[in-house]
Amino acid sequence: MLKNKADYDASLEAFSRRLMPLVEYSLDGEGRMTVHNDTVAWYRYMDMRPQAEALFRFIEQTIDTELADEMRFLANHDKTRQAIQEIVDMPDLKIDLFIRFCLQNGGQLSIRKRASHFDFLVPGEILRMEQAVQGAYGNATLKGD
């Protein structure tokens, strides 16, 4: 919904646009609404088809694109974690941190992060670990595309 706010807003307005002219209301100084007429009949049998259709599109997009992207990311993460574990024995949390730092920095561990979090590694290990990240995630992910 957040990625397609126009569709979300349109689905809400499909209902409210027809109803709002019929509702007599006022807003107080804090923005609270008070309805002055009887509106219960208008809400009893609402046509929510536009909202249901919009929700279906949002779910479909999530399943088709976002979920698939997330599954690829997780598969790459597991593959990278395993490759790094074969280079150096570190706890998973430390490996996850290394991967995240590399992804944030175009596939390489910054000098500052190296000094503050991974000073126990030798340069050759770091290079091989960076290569594992670069190989698993590819250029699109590393460039932030």
- 36 and 72 both lie in a single domain: no
Residue 71: its H or E element = helix 68-87
- 23 and 80 both lie in a single domain: no
Residue 112 resides in a domain: yes
Q: What is the pLDDT of residues 76-100, one digit of tens each?
A: 999 999 999 999 999 999 999 999 9
- Print the domain residue range for 7: 1-47
Cα distance between the two ends of the chain? 21
- 37 and 74 both lie in a single domain: no
Q: How far is C-alpha 83 from the geometric centre of its chain's CA atoms?
A: 26
- 79 and 125 both lie in a single domain: yes
Contact 134, 142 (CB under 8 A): yes
The pLDDT, as a whole number, for residue 145 is 43
Residue 69 resides in a domain: yes
- 76 and 135 both lie in a single domain: yes
Q: Return d(Cα 13, Cα 7) in angstroms, integer.
A: 10
The pLDDT, as a whole number, for residue 61 is 87
The pLDDT, as a whole number, for residue 127 is 96
- 75 and 27 both lie in a single domain: no
Residue 60 resides in a domain: no
One-letter identity of residue 27? L
**Global confidence as pTM:** 0.59
Mean pLDDT by 10 residues, the chain (145 residues): 81 85 93 92 86 90 87 92 95 96 94 96 96 84 55
How many domains does the chain fold into? 2
